[in-house]
A = this chain, B = another copy of it.
Amino acid sequence: MERIGFVGLGTMGGYMAANLRKAGFEVTVWNRTPGKAAALIAGGAREAASPADVARASDIVCTCVSDTPDVDAVLFGADGVAEGLAAGGLVIDYSTISPSATAEFAARLKAQGIGFVDAPVSGGSEGARLGTLTIMAGGDEADLERARPVLEGTGKTITHFGPAGSGQAVKAVNQVVIAGVYLAVAEGMVLSMKAGLDPQAVVAALGGGVAGSWILANRSAKMVNNDYPLGFRTRLHLKDLGIALELAQSLGVVLPVSALAAQLESGLVARGYGDEDMSNLARPIRQLSGMEG
């Protein structure tokens, strides 16, 4: 059984590392902010002093950090994974970052004889805890097959989309689609309320038809209540949307609705709402329409 390293023990990474431990893997962990590893250690994981040290103790190193520069730092910075991981190793990056940077990171690792799989996820902290995440994977076929037992220890649906960076590109598509659907549902809910309709009845009637969506079924009530418990944070979606818009620009893809969503989210973050659930995209629609928002 391959020895697993895990770098980045935030909400997502912490649950994932725990699930890998439960699945029977030997797990060595590291987090930038200390003190996150206690529960994992109690569960039998070992803590290392740096990403490089994690790598020295591992065959496969998983990373789950915030953004492109963070992945760059934990892989290629001083005491980074690339310093400690022997040729023949494999890196699995669960972070949501730039697809083009991902392809470049993979190429650099390949030059050292190290494999790479990008494996951004969707399903939130709930999915991470239960091990039911949807995993969008990119990388060479052989790397993907080698990574599969690890991926299966952390998620339920695993799809391989193509070379390194493909998983990130699919994650970008996901964030683009949900941006528009959130806005669509927000417009519908605000119109319902101002028209004096019972929003719950509207959602029930529309949900089974062409207008039906996961977001309509599961997030419209937050919009109606103007109360946005998590969920998925607006500031994180804005970060992801920035990645998607950058990808789109590099490809010449024109995304008017996603660009509008990014603008509205930027205002939400500035107004102090960045840590609410991203269904708070209803706030600007409410506010512009003269409701509390």
Contact = CB atoms under 8 A, between A and B. Distances in A.
Contact of A270 (B134, B166, B252): B252
B204 A210 contact: no
B247 A266 contact: no
A290 B258 CA distance: 18
Contact of A176 (B177, B184, B238): B184
A181 B252 contact: no
Q: Chain A binding site: helix, strand, loop or mixed by DSSP? A: helix
A255 B263 CA distance: 6
Contacts of A251: 191, 194-195, 270, 289
A244 interface: yes
Contacts of A271: 252, 290
A152 to B, nearest CB: 16
A76 interface: no
A28 to B, nearest CB: 30
A287 interface: yes
Contacts of A257: 180, 183-184, 187, 257, 260
Contacts of A249: 238, 242, 262, 266
A185 B215 CA distance: 13
The 8 closest A-B pairs by CB, nearest first: A252-B270, A180-B184, A213-B213, A177-B188, A254-B288, A254-B267, A259-B259, A194-B251
